Amino acid sequence: MSSIVNASIVRASTVDHASCGMRVRWGIGIVLLLALCVATSCAKPPTMRAGVATETITPTELPFWLSGYAARTSPAHEVRQQLFAKALAMEDAQGARSVIVTIDIIGIPRALRNAVAEDVERQFALPPSALLLNCSHTHSGPAVRENLEVLFSFDEQEKAKTARYREFLRQRIVAAVGGALAALAPAKLSYGEGEASFAINRRAQRFLDEDPTAKPISPVDRSVPVLRVERADGSLLAVLFGYACHNTTLTAEFNAVAGDYAGFAQEQLQQAYPGATALFLMLCGGDQNPHPRSKAELAPQHGKTLAGAVQAVLAKPASLEAVEGDIRGSLRFERLPFAPHARADFEAGRNHENIYQKRRAEWVLGRMDKGEDLSAVDYPVQVLRVGERFGLVGLGGEVVVDYGLNIKKAYPGLRLVVAGYTNDVMCYIPTKRVLAEGGYEADDSMMYYGQPGKFAPEVEDRLMGAVEATMRDAGFRGR
């Protein structure tokens, strides 16, 4: 089951010889003007409008717990990098609008997405289907709770602190959306792709560590999609770019607030293009890690590599494809079922020696006691379309790389950017292949997310079916 949120008149007259001569002179003038226009590459005025805005979301109440690593045993006391929520608003010639927000945080829960969407619709008349929230998944960002709840055992003081931060984050995201919409001005959009090579399939790496003779399937997507947004005068207003790789260069021992490689890439691009805003989209990197990692200097190094890939694309504007036309958005929720589970399994888990298994059991039982349906998750699939060929597909959760590759392959005539970590990060989203292989992304990670267990085998078919339906809703033609 799924649901959709979702000619002039020319007058002839007689003329005398004098007026005829005048017309000849005018005609020569027009021809010369047209020739000059061609020679100076005169271009038609922009049919699109765009605006950007940035809000700082760095936690101010230090020390503050960071999210992403169970190995951390204390909160962070320092800030290595500032964190931001950045919004890119777009408007077509008919006044239809959409806003993409990139957020330097591990993930947002569905409740926060809903609260932001309600505020945005009330204040700016932008429907939920036109608002896309994507998280960079930095593991050096603040805990928001409700997702990855099992990682923490907060006292009342820490719970209150994270609640205050969650409200602060909501306000800052809404402010970024409002700022971007208020800044709408004539703009030209164009699209291209580069490549960066530091992503590695971490599942394949683990299999090889266990058995060097193994030949596991190891899909990787090293493409770097780049959306160039320039002002009417040709200067760079914004660049939206993405990569399918975990923001985990800085591992658990680095306990300071930071944006990881994505934060450094944005910084370097903004230094290279003064006056422009760089926005990072996390793509389908659920099973992808930066390689190498675990050294402080590697985060800016990978950031420089990614920024370089973006700059290489921007350096060749003639090779970019124009992005213009009608804007249309669609948002759909699909029920993704879990494998069968019983309350007795979690009753027994209350006494498990693993503290995270124990916390998961308590968390799940508490949700059961509230009457929640834990048989499936309501999974968000969103598509933002601009014109006939460009689209951004936003998928919830920690989506493994297969989905990005498969969706782009299914629509070869389109220019698609497929992002994970969008609108709700509730757990990992495996494919049939990953489920069959088992391991962290398929099963073990569900413990940290407080989910009752792994998904049922039909998860991939349901998700891909929802993507196809949402693409149709957004006005894209069939495969």
Residue-level pLDDT at 35? 46
Query: Which of 152-156, 250-254, 467-471 has the weakest average pLDDT?
Result: 152-156
CA-to-CA distance for 119 and 126, rounded, in angstroms?
A: 9
Cβ–Cβ under 8 Å, residues 338 and 451? yes
Query: What residues does 337 pair with on adjacent strands?
Result: 376
Report strand pairing: 97-103 vs 131-135.
parallel
Tokens encoding 426: 């509730």
Q: How far is the C-alpha of 74 from the C-alpha of 233, rounded, in Å?
A: 50
Q: With helix as H, strand as E and coil as C, how does the chain read?
A: CEEECCCCCCCCCCCCHHHHHHHHHHHHHHHHHHHHHHHCCCCCCCCEEEEEEEEECCCCCCCECEECCCCCCCCECCECCCCEEEEEEEECCCCCEEEEEEECCCCCCHHHHHHHHHHHHHHHCCCHHHEEEEECCECCEECCCCCCHHHCCCCHHHHHHHHHHHHHHHHHHHHHHHHHHHCCEEEEEEEEEEECCCEEEHHHHHHHHHCCCCCCCCCCCCEEEEEEEEECCCCEEEEEEEECCCECCCCCCCCCECCHHHHHHHHHHHHHCCCCEEEEEEECCCCEEECCCCCCCHHHHHHHHHHHHHHHHHCCHHHCEEECCCEEEEEEEEEEEECCCCHHHHHHHCCCCCHHHHHHHHHHHHHHHCCCCCCEEEEEEEEEEECCCEEEEEECCEECHHHHHHHHHHCCCCEEEEECCECCCCCEECCHHHHHHCCHHHHHHHHHCCCCCCECCCHHHHHHHHHHHHHHHCCCCCC
Strand partners, 379: 334
Cβ-Cβ contacts under 8 Å for 11 (sequence gap 6 or more): none
pLDDT of residue 82: 98
**More confident call, 128 vs 47:** 128
Q: Where are the domains of the chain?
A: 48-329+380-428, 339-369
Given phi > 0 = left and psi -120 to 50 = alpha, else beta, which region is 416?
A: beta
Which range, of 37-41, 183-187, 374-378, 392-396, averages the lowest pLDDT? 37-41
Residue 77 scores a pLDDT above 50? yes
Backbone φ/ψ region at 148: left (φ over 0), alpha (ψ -120 to 50), beta: left
Express each pLDDT in 350-359 by its tens digit: 989 999 999 9
Position 150 pLDDT exceeds 90? no
| Single pTM value for the model | 0.90
Least confident of 135-149, 228-242, 266-280, 439-453: 135-149
Q: Using pLDDT thresholds of 50, 70 and 90, give the confidence band for residue 118.
A: very high
Identify the pLDDT of residue 149: 78
Is the pLDDT score of 12 beyond 80?
Answer: no
**Residues 189 and 323 sit within 8 Å (Cβ to Cβ):** yes
Taking only the tens place, the pLDDT of each residue in 275-306 is: 999 999 999 999 999 999 999 999 999 999 99
pLDDT at 11: 29
Predicted pLDDT of residue 384: 98
How does pLDDT run across 86-99, given as a tens digit for each residue? 999 999 999 999 99
Cα Rg of the chain, angstroms:
25
Arithmetic mean of pLDDT over the chain = 90
Average pLDDT over residues 340-365: 91
Torsion on CA atoms 110, 148, 257, 304, rounded to nearest 10: -80
pLDDT of residue 41: 42
For the chain, percent of residues with pLDDT exceeding 90: 81
- Percent of the chain at pLDDT > 70 equals 88
Q: What is the pLDDT of residues 37-71, one digit of tens each?
A: 444 444 567 899 999 999 999 999 999 999 999 99
The pair of three-digit structure tokens given for residue 78, joined into one six-digit string: 């320092």
Mean pLDDT of 437-462: 94
Q: What are phi and psi of 452, to 5 degrees?
A: -70, -15
pLDDT tier, 151 (very low <50, low <70, confident <90, very high otherwise) = confident
Report d(CA 475, CA 60) in Å as an integer.
43
- What pLDDT, on a 0 to 100 scale, did the predictor assign at position 33? 44
Of 141, 134, 128, nearest to 103 by C-alpha is 134
